[in-house]
Amino acid sequence: MPRSKFRYSCRFFVQDTVIGAGKYDGALGIVTAIAAVKSLNKKGKLFRFPRPIEIIAFSDEEGIRFQSTFLGSAAIAGTLSTQLLSVRDKSGTTLRDSLHQASLKGSEESLLHLKYDKFAVWGYIEVHIEQGPVLEFKKIPLGVVEAIAGQTRLKVTLQGLQGHAGTVPMLMRKDPMPAAAKAILHIEELCTKRGDDNEKASSHIDSTAQLVCTVGEISSWPGASNVIPGQVVFTVDIRSRDDYLREETVLKIESNIHNVARARALSYNIERKHEAKAVKCDSELTHRLKAAAKSGISKFLDSEVSDIPLLTSGAGHDAMAMARLTKVGMIFVRCTGGISHSPAEHVLEDDIGAASSALLSFLEHELDLLDS
**Strand, helix or coil for residue 221:** strand
288 in Cβ contact with 299 (< 8 Å)? no
- Report pLDDT for 99: 82
Taking the model in full, what pTM does it have?
A: 0.77
CA-to-CA distance for 65 and 88, rounded, in angstroms?
9
- Report pLDDT for 262: 98
- Report pLDDT for 327: 96
233 in Cβ contact with 155 (< 8 Å)? yes
- Report pLDDT for 199: 53
CA-to-CA distance for 296 and 78, rounded, in angstroms?
34
- Report pLDDT for 207: 44
Local mean pLDDT, 10-residue blocks, the chain (372 residues): 40 50 87 95 91 87 76 86 82 85 76 86 95 94 95 96 97 97 98 70 49 95 97 97 94 98 98 90 96 95 91 90 94 95 93 96 88 70
- Report pLDDT for 104: 77
CA-to-CA distance for 30 and 39, rounded, in angstroms?
14
- Report pLDDT for 265: 97
Determine the Cα angle at 101 with ends 96 and 104, to 5°. Answer: 65
**Strand, helix or coil for residue 146:** strand
- Report pLDDT for 65: 77
